Amino acid sequence: MTNLSRRTVMQGLGVGAMATALAGLPVFAQDRTAIRIGYAISKTGANAAGAGITTTPNYLLWVDDVNKAGGIKLSKLGVTLPLEVTEYDDRSAAEETVRAIERLATQDNVDLILPTWGTGANLAAGPTFDRFGYPQLAATAVTDMAPQLAARWKHSFWMLGGGHDYANALVELLVKQRDAGTINNKVAIASVADGFGIDLSKAATPAFTEAGFELVYDKTYPLGTSDFAPIINEVSGLGADTFVAFSYPPDTFALTQQAVVADFSPKVFYLGVGTAFPIYPGIAGPNHNGVMGVGGIDPDSEAVAAYFERHIALNGQAPDSWASAITYASLEMLQQAIERVGDIDREAISAELSSGEFDTIIGKVKLVDNQLRSLWTVGQWQDGKFVGLAHTERDGSRDPVVPKPDWVPAT
Amino acid sequence: MKLAAALIALLALAFVPSLVGPYPLGLMIGILGYGILATAWALFSGPTRYISLATVAFFGLGAYTVAVLSETLPYPLVLLAAAAIGLVVALLVGLATLRLAGIYFVIFTFGLTELVRQLVTYYEVNVTRTLGRYVFLPFGPEHIYWQLLALLAATLAIAFWVRQSKIGLALRVIGDDPVVASHLGIRITRAKLTLFSISAVIMTLAGAIQAPRWTYIEPSIVFNPTTSFLVVIMALLGGPNRLFGPLLGAIPLFLLFEWLSANFPNHYSIILGLLFIAIVFVLPNGVLAAVDSVRARLTRKEASA
Amino acid sequence: MSLLRLNNVTKRFGGLTAVNGLSFDLAEGEIVGLLGPNGSGKTTALNMISGYLPLSDGSIGLLDETISGLPPEHIAHRGVARTFQLVRALPSLSVGENVLAALAFRKAPLWGAGAKAEIDTLLADVGLGGRADQPADSLTYIDLKRMELARALASDPRLLLLDEWLAGLNPTELQAGIELISSLRQRGITILLVEHVMDAVRALCTRCIVMNTGSKIADGPTAEVLADAEVIRAYLGADHA
Amino acid sequence: MLSSAILTGLVLGGTYALVAMGLTLQYGVARIMNLAYGDIVIAASFAAFVLFSALGINPLLGMLLILPLGFALNWLIYAILLQPLARRSRDRGRLEGDSILATFGLLFVIQGVALVIFGSGFQSYNFLAVPVNILGTIVAANRLLALVLAVAFAIGLFVLLTRTRFGTVIRAVAANPASAPLVGVNVDSVARFAFALGGALAAAGGVVISMYLTFSATMGVVFTMKALIVVIMGGVGNLMGALAAGLILGLVETLVSTYIDPGLTLAATYLIFLAVLVVRPQGLFGKATS
Amino acid sequence: MLEVSAISLHYGKHLALDNVALSVADKETVVVLGANGAGKSSLLKAIAGMVRPNPGARVNLDGVNLVGRPDHSFVEQGIALVPEGRGIFGDLTVAENLELGAYPRHARPHEARQRALVLDLFPRLGERQQQIARTMSGGEQQMLAIGRALMSCPRLLMLDEPSLGLAPIVTTELFAALQRIGQTDIALLVVEQNVKASLGIADRGYLMEAGRIVGTGSAAALRSDAAVQQAFLGGAAPTAISTGVFP
């Protein structure tokens, strides 16, 4: 590792053009002792917290699971090889992400590259994955551009849907509740002024309006806001039974606390990223019960339960109940695709990912136009689990609890 | 003679993309990007000693200009528009900061960058209803590399010219004592605004040229305040009052970051931090000053030998 | 015709009136002493003439033109140069560059080879010949004063404002300093001198203006002014009369 | 509505002031432009979190442990890392440059250690999240605590600085360190004390905000920048200035959020900060230098 | 009381003090004369501990060598310096400046007594107790600087060009005050360009040139010496001193 990197630095200085030429030589099968996986992930900077919850632990878990099982079978080569990892810190900067992928692809010549965390970073990395022909399994990017992107970059796979998926599912679920008379017609929305919040609010605003809801509050707040008292104070006086926040984790936690303090307890309390995090019940205390949010899991799935157990055992923390399982599932797909191809043939692996059906912890999965369409879109904390209420392909396994229980005041 | 050497070096560097692989080229792009920013930063901040943290404001504006206009205007005009926007903002910033000095200037420029970021965000969110924008320009890394190389050459040429020129002297006088400067007949406002604007336009162009490399532009990517800090550190490390100082600060630091993040992805922060502290203690006057003093010691030894 | 004319010049800082209705004229070629106790407003007056401080009231004219309200660089371009009470060298520049800074930005700028010759001449004039390449911050106090004078002269002034330029010199140095200033008269430079060193005032000034608490209390030929009872009471004290 | 917005704003401003107060002491007296300040804040948040969640120690009691620890840690940081730099460069500009570089390094070290120990994820817990009704406005007790502490610290330090001999010594070192040895003041030890005291205040801020803000190892820089804005807006070294600036920023943020658009809160705070500096380049309570 | 010897001091490559020795007896008033750049200020700073001389230097106060101690401890031993430029705390009030003067431990018990002494010497400081020091005139600031030094109960008070930039009438007052101080138990070591006035209050004097002591003698002898007259009171070239009038 150290030697390799020293060489790399020399080349950066423009000294080692020769070495680069040599590095392009193919790796022969008989030399192969492992399948080399590379990834650059945000270990520092703004994205580190998100990556540390959803992405890194799952990469570690998958590598551990595979290697414990003896590795991945490459039938064409007649070997079963363990995974070997090269990891970099992209320092939460798009420029670093791009360069790290260039490095993994051309310098380290890894066999496969796992993507970084976040929508922006995955979009930034798209052309580079594409240029070097590596499949990109973007499991933590939410974008309505996914169909166009998948068409533009043939090796890219978009696993987490777009803003419309989540917004429409939420509206649909709420329409049922309204029509049943459980909630009134008024909805208040606060969105973080960042990629995720805007994508969702852009989809949700017209969807709510078309469904006949009255939007009594629909505003954005800047990334980094720490005090939500003004928003909660204003919203609590507007008579909305439904409060929706397309928020980021710190905001999600602060909004919950503030709503409890202000005793603003709407019948539907829906928050964005972070509700599905394992620490949410710890922060909200008994009040986590009945809170809705993005994502969800199938509480009755044994595969998911087993996955949770393995994740806790290895990482010391539970996975989140939205993108973690998807991330892990995307890795299972990758593994199965490799085994079906029987060799590290990235073109063939990509083709298999596009067309094949895979057996994962979230069930049988088949991509549609390089996109995972089988997603939990709305979840709710019920009995200590963040259970899926709405799914893009199948009916929810649980019914929503509306109205949610009243807040228990803190002591 | 020196000019000829510089041109040969430039020509040689222009062939780098055909000689090296994508990753070394990516490194070169990164080095050029930071080298340009640090040199441009030192153009104004070196002689005046006004530490500006507004670098990324201009950088980001450049990138956004490309994101907004690349579909509607031909590319050269997009760059021109970026330069014009950088110039206008630089003049506004320059006029607003005329009375500020020291730490007040530093934090003002930081606040200003954040304000620009907030306003861009607000505009995008509430007017265009999107946050991220996509830049699909048909540029490979080598195109970006060549453009950056040209911009770096131009920046160094400007820096060279400024050092020889009256305006360079004016800025040094202002940096030492603005009161004396005005009493000697120096038009302080004009001198400061001129160089601040030149420096800002270069930064804007650096952002504009690199935008296509990321495909996706959003405020948190292009207005990342860390960039401003890194540029200051690089320039200070190399020596902001020397022509090649900022560049020679950028190169080792950039490579150091790269090496650490690759070899110690989990302890990157700690090692980097310790190295920074060591640098302050070991190289108190910057890399070039250290090189000079070593060279001086060697010549003295030779002379005595 | 007068070169400089102060008409009812007033400066207030908050509630404090530092200079109060000061009026006087300087004729071309004069060396005039501006005297007064510490805090009587002399330096404030110089600062207003050079444009460093804006006036609260009144006006200042140079030849036929009103210069009050102009920024220092414009006043400098009209031929007013100064030194400062506490020497203000440009420490990161060399001695020569200190002088060049004045040459390059004066009304008829010098740059390049012509400037170099002029720098050498000016430095030689003040006794710093051959030291153009020395860093300014390595100079001693007296040499800094010399350099500052050379810098002021490099602006090619009509009017030179010297703020305690002779302070802190020992008697021998003082003698040399007096001769240097006296030689400037031959260049046709008018000099307004704020000074506490009475020997120098007596030797140099044909005329003196004395201020006390912001107002002018005496103005006339040096010998008369220094014998004035109020000047003795407020400024000189019995020992120095 | 207005009174509620004002109260909410003051409470938020209390957090800002509390976080900034130590920095104004560190920069004003010890002349250290401490870019690692926010990481000290976060470190204290982690300490409070560990005491609370692992040992069940109430953060208010935890403060009794964490404050002295913060003091000691910062005392050591100054003695080992910064004092040699301060000695090396008695002039302010040089020390500013050196301290920026050195504390930038320190920032990475502290952040790196926190990353190794706690990982990069979000941490949060609830303490004192009980509603307090003040004149009909509900505020969270933990946020109110921040305001109360900010005001108490500001007044306490103000009294210390203006009414005691030691306070006069501290102000003398702040105003003119070169002359302080002339009256027998050990500049090194006063600066060290001020830096350590500033660190203890940072730790106090960290403990309090951990009760209601979500934090992570990489978030220190957010607090550094907010604190710098407050310190500069208030006027360097001026505790009352920091208090006033913090409260003003909190008020502006809340009023803009309530009456204009929550999307413009941060833009408004930066705008007001910039406007203050354009009008008063030395900050609200700073002394003009000329 | 004060015995200084073998003081050499480098600023970079420049030798500011070259093996300087001098002494001040109890209650004595000593003046140091010399051209600008001769090293007079550096000498006072070295004696006050503000700069550290080259190894081997001795600043003996009653036989105890203070060299190497931290800068702030010199005043605690009884050596007070009024530096060039005065060094007052401009942002603090007059009263606070005086209070700080009495900061050294040995001075604290005598604060009231010393304050009375200072206010008696400089009545104007009494009128201006609450004024911010920076806003006072140059003469008043100089008085404050001296007053602050006196608050530390010094045995030796050193002044660096106290009359610099002061109006003649204030200079007269200042020297009168110094003379009164000289009559107390306090010894004075003064650097001055005002040769006439300083020799008027001094017992002894030293002549310095280019970092070295080149002569010494009683004030009366110096005053009447023709060579000193020539060198310091006009006319002669400074080289007259270096020929070694007082070997």
Instruction: Report pLDDT digits (tens) over D72-109.
Output: 999 999 999 999 988 887 666 678 778 888 898 999 99
Contact status of B211 with chain D (Cβ, < 8 Å): no
Position with higher pLDDT, D260 vs C172 = D260
The pLDDT of C85-90, averaged and rounded, is 90
pLDDT of E77 reads 93
A97-111, B1-15, C83-97: the lowest-pLDDT one: B1-15
**Number of Cβ within a 10 Å radius of residue E63:** 7
The structural architecture, per CATH, of the domain A163-299+376-392 is: 3-Layer(aba) Sandwich (3.40)
The structural architecture, per CATH, of the domain B2-304 is: Orthogonal Bundle (1.10)
Burial of B53 (0-12, 13-18, 19+ CB in 10 A): buried
The pLDDT of A383-396, averaged and rounded, is 85
Check if the beta carbon of residue B104 is closer than 8 Å to that of residue B177. no
> What would the pLDDT profile of D183-223 be if each residue is shown by its tens digit?
999 999 999 999 999 999 999 999 999 998 889 898 898 89
Cβ contact D108–B272 (<8 Å): yes
Dist. CA E2–CA D32, nearest whole Å = 38
Q: What is each CA distance from D159 to A156, D156, D164, D167, D286, in whole angstroms?
A: 64, 5, 7, 8, 18
> What would the pLDDT profile of B38-94 be if each residue is shown by its tens digit?
999 999 998 988 889 999 999 999 999 999 998 899 999 999 999 999 999 999 999
Strand partners, A243: A188, A269
Check if the beta carbon of residue E43 is closer than 8 Å to that of residue E17. yes
The pLDDT of C58-82, averaged and rounded, is 94
Confidence label for A9 from pLDDT (cuts 50, 70 and 90): very low
List the single residue in C with minimal CA-CA distance to B169: C101
Cβ contact C196–E235 (<8 Å): no
Cβ contact E37–C173 (<8 Å): no
DSSP A208-256: HHHTT-EEEEEEEE-TT----HHHHHHHHTTT-SEEEEE--HHHHHHHH
Residue E95 lies in a domain: no
Contact status of A93 with chain D (Cβ, < 8 Å): no
Q: What is the mean pLDDT of chain C?
A: 92
The pLDDT of A336-355, averaged and rounded, is 95
pTM: 0.88
Residue B298 has pLDDT above 80, yes or no: no
List the single residue in B with minimal CA-CA distance to D218: B269
> What would the pLDDT profile of D132-144 be if each residue is shown by its tens digit?
888 888 888 989 9
pLDDT of A31 reads 67
The pLDDT of A299-311, averaged and rounded, is 94
Residue B155 has pLDDT above 60, yes or no: yes
Structure tokens at D282: 């030395």
pLDDT of C201 reads 93
When scoring B125, B209, B266 by the number of chain A Cβ atoms within 10 A, the one with the most, hence best to mutate, is B125
When scoring D108, D116, D253, D279 by the number of chain B Cβ atoms within 10 A, the one with the most, hence best to mutate, is D108
The pLDDT of E124-146, averaged and rounded, is 92
Name which of A262, A238, A260, A251 is nearest A187 in CA terms.
Answer: A238
Residue A26 has pLDDT above 50, yes or no: no
SS3 state at A377: strand
Residue A25 has pLDDT above 70, yes or no: no
- H helices within B134-286, ranges in order? 141-164, 166-176, 178-183, 188-214, 219-222, 225-238, 245-263, 268-282
> End-to-end distance of chain B based on CA atoms, in angstroms?
32
pLDDT of B287 reads 60
A6-20, B229-243, C75-89, E89-103: the lowest-pLDDT one: A6-20
Cβ contact B268–A44 (<8 Å): yes
Contact status of C14 with chain E (Cβ, < 8 Å): no
Residue A19 has pLDDT above 60, yes or no: no
pLDDT of A13 reads 39
The pLDDT of E32-56, averaged and rounded, is 90
Strand partners, A157: A137
Dist. CA A31–CA A344, nearest whole Å = 13
Contact status of C104 with chain B (Cβ, < 8 Å): yes
Q: What is the mean pLDDT of chain E?
A: 88
Dist. CA C90–CA C101, nearest whole Å = 9
Structure tokens at B49: 């000693």
What is the gyration radius of the CA atoms in chain D, in angstroms? 19
Contacts of E82 (CB under 8 A, 6+ apart): E142, E145, E146, E149, E157, E158, E159, E160, E162
Show residues of chain D in contact with B277, CB under 8 Å.
81, 102, 105-106, 109
Cβ contact B181–C155 (<8 Å): no
Confidence label for E247 from pLDDT (cuts 50, 70 and 90): very low
Dist. CA B19–CA A21, nearest whole Å = 8
Burial of A17 (0-12, 13-18, 19+ CB in 10 A): middle
Residue A22 has pLDDT above 50, yes or no: no
Confidence label for E232 from pLDDT (cuts 50, 70 and 90): low
Q: What is each CA distance from E223 to E164, E176, E183, E202, E206, in whole angstroms?
A: 21, 18, 20, 10, 12
Confidence label for E244 from pLDDT (cuts 50, 70 and 90): very low
Confidence label for B18 from pLDDT (cuts 50, 70 and 90): confident
**Number of Cβ within a 10 Å radius of residue A390:** 24
Contact status of B95 with chain D (Cβ, < 8 Å): no
In chain A, which residues fall in CATH 3.40.50.2300? 6-161+301-375, 163-299+376-392
Q: Which long-range contacts (CB under 8 A, 24 or more apart) does B123-128 make?
A: B124/A198, B124/B219, B125/A193, B125/A198, B125/A220, B125/D263, B126/A220, B126/D261, B126/D263
Residue C36 has pLDDT above 70, yes or no: yes
Q: Which of D165, D175, D186 sits opposite E72 (nearest CB)?
A: D186
Check if the beta carbon of residue B117 is closer than 8 Å to that of residue B125. no
pLDDT of C10 reads 96
Residue A5 has pLDDT above 80, yes or no: no
The pLDDT of A32-39, averaged and rounded, is 92
Contacts of A318 (CB under 8 A, 6+ apart): A278, A308, A311, A312
> Total domain count for chain E?
1
The pLDDT of C152-175, averaged and rounded, is 90
Contact status of B93 with chain D (Cβ, < 8 Å): no
DSSP E160-202: ESTTTT--HHHHHHHHHHHHHHHHTT-EEEEE-S-HHHHHHH-
Cβ contact C105–B170 (<8 Å): yes
Q: Which fold has domain A6-161+301-375?
A: Rossmann fold (3.40.50)
Dist. CA B1–CA A391, nearest whole Å = 72
Show residues of chain B in contact with D32, CB under 8 Å.
none
Dist. CA D201–CA D208, nearest whole Å = 11
Residue B131 has pLDDT above 80, yes or no: no
Structure tokens at D276: 């203050």
Strand partners, A187: A215, A242
> End-to-end distance of chain A based on CA atoms, in angstroms?
54
pLDDT of D51 reads 94
Percent of chain D with pLDDT over 90: 60
Which chains are adjacent to chain A, needing at least 3 Cβ pairs under 8 Å?
A: B, D
**Contacting A residues, span 314-333, partner chain D, CB-CB under 8 Å:** 317
Residue with tokens 């000034």: C205
Percent of chain A with pLDDT over 90: 69
SS3 letters across chain D: CHHHHHHHHHHHHHHHHHHHHHHHHHHHCCCCCCCCHHHHHHHHHHHHHHHHHHHCCCHHHHHHHHHHHHHHHHHHHHHHHHHHHHHHCCCHHHHHHHHHHHHHHHHHHHHHHHHHHHCCCCECCCCCCCEEEECCEEEEHHHHHHHHHHHHHHHHHHHHHHHCHHHHHHHHHHHCCCCHHHHCCCHHHHHHHHHHHHHHHHHHHHHHHHCCCCECHHHHHHHHHHHHHHHHHHCCCCHHHHHHHHHHHHHHHHHHHHHCCHHHHHHHHHHHHHHHHHHCCCCCCCCCCC
pLDDT of D26 reads 93
Residue E172 lies in a domain: no
D197-D202-D205-D206 Cα dihedral, nearest 10 degrees: -130
CATH number of the domain enclosing E245: 3.40.50.300
Q: How many angstroms away from the CA of B115 is the closest CA of chain D?
A: 5
Which chains are adjacent to chain E, needing at least 3 Cβ pairs under 8 Å?
A: C, D
Name which of C211, B112, B214, B202 is nearest A118 in CA terms.
Answer: B214
Contacts of A117 (CB under 8 A, 6+ apart): A41, A42, A47, A50, A51, A54, A55, A140
Cβ contact B277–D105 (<8 Å): yes
Dist. CA B250–CA B231, nearest whole Å = 8
> End-to-end distance of chain D based on CA atoms, in angstroms?
45
Contact status of B260 with chain D (Cβ, < 8 Å): no
Residue E99 lies in a domain: no
Residue E242 has pLDDT above 60, yes or no: no
Q: How many angstroms away from the CA of A332 is the closest CA of chain B?
A: 25
Cβ contact A283–D125 (<8 Å): yes
Position with higher pLDDT, E24 vs B297 = E24
Dist. CA B170–CA C98, nearest whole Å = 11
SS3 state at A285: helix
Phi, psi of A364 (to 5 degrees): -75, 135
> What would the pLDDT profile of A200-254 be if each residue is shown by its tens digit?
999 999 999 999 999 999 999 998 888 899 999 999 999 999 999 999 999 999 9
List the single residue in B with minimal CA-CA distance to C148: B180
Cβ contact C111–B166 (<8 Å): yes
Confidence label for C64 from pLDDT (cuts 50, 70 and 90): confident
The pLDDT of D154-162, averaged and rounded, is 92
